[in-house]
């Protein structure tokens, strides 16, 4: 989506190894979805319903998936 404004996760690889998650809330008001992608493949993304994205972010923040 060329109109999407992307931002990188604050947990992305700071060494520049390409391990970067990116997200866009650009279309959230009109579609109720968040775009999620990988900076290594900028032309592809997942379209995630906002409630599912919120649940994922909460689970990640509370350590539900473990630590890295």
Predicted confidence at residue 16, as pLDDT, reads 60
Q: Please give the mean pLDDT across all residues of the chain.
A: 86
pLDDT tens profile 2-12: 689 998 877 66
Which of 16, 24, 64, 15 is closest to 45 using CA atoms?
24
Which of 62, 64, 7, 63 is closest to 35 using CA atoms?
7
Res. 18 pLDDT band, cuts 50 70 90: low
Predicted confidence at residue 41, as pLDDT, reads 86
Predicted confidence at residue 8, as pLDDT, reads 85
Predicted confidence at residue 10, as pLDDT, reads 72
Model confidence, pTM: 0.78
């Amino acid at each position: 989506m060329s109109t999407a404004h992307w931002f990188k996760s604050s947990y992305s690889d700071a060494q520049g190894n390409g391990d970067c998650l990116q997200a866009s809330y650009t279309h959230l008001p009109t579609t109720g979805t968040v775009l999620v992608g990988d900076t290594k493949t900028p032309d592809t993304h997942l379209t995630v319903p906002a409630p599912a994205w919120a649940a994922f972010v909460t689970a990640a923040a509370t350590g539900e998936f473990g630590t890295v």
